[in-house]
Amino acid sequence: MKEANTLQEYVEGRYPSEKSIGRLYDMELSVFNDRLEADVRASGTVAFMSSQLLSEEPVQHTFMHDLDSLLWVLVWLVAVRAQEDNQHNANSLREEVYSSDDSFKYSFVNISERARSQMARIIDLADTEWEHT
């Protein structure tokens, strides 16, 4: 198969005899070919990215950022899967998760004000029965 410059050329080269009835484009991770190296930034769903990677300062991506991202995904899943008949207090949940006397959580999550606000946004966006006080 020859090299394709566009998605259209790739599809036509890979499936020449197939008649396409639709196309699905995922532009979330697309980049301009002529971008400068200084413009290269982390990509992904912002709500689930490590708060350290969202800062303006350049940071080397490590496995801890991936674990931080996994934590945000798990928090989202818990928030979305909350039982409708149980009222949850989002503020008390945030305080419990970020309790300073729990040294394991504190050292693992590396609490920052940015992380707290990111957690609040995730809970606020969840379509659940969370009660905000």
Q: pLDDT at position 49, please?
A: 77
Q: pLDDT at position 104, please?
A: 38
CA distance 50 to 59: 11
131, 102 in Cβ contact below 8 A? Answer: no
Which pLDDT tens digits describe the chain residue by residue (133 residues)? 567 778 778 777 877 777 766 666 666 656 666 666 555 555 667 777 777 777 777 778 888 888 888 888 887 777 666 655 555 555 555 555 555 444 434 444 455 566 666 666 666 666 555 554 4
Q: pLDDT at position 63, please?
A: 85
64, 53 in Cβ contact below 8 A? Answer: no
CA distance 107 to 119: 16
Beta strand 130-131 pairing with 88-89? parallel
Model pTM? Answer: 0.38
> Residue for token digits 């413009």?
39
CA distance 37 to 11: 29
Q: 82 CB contacts (<8 Å, ≥6 apart)?
A: 88, 126, 128, 129, 130
Give the pair of three-digit tokens for residue 63: 């496995």
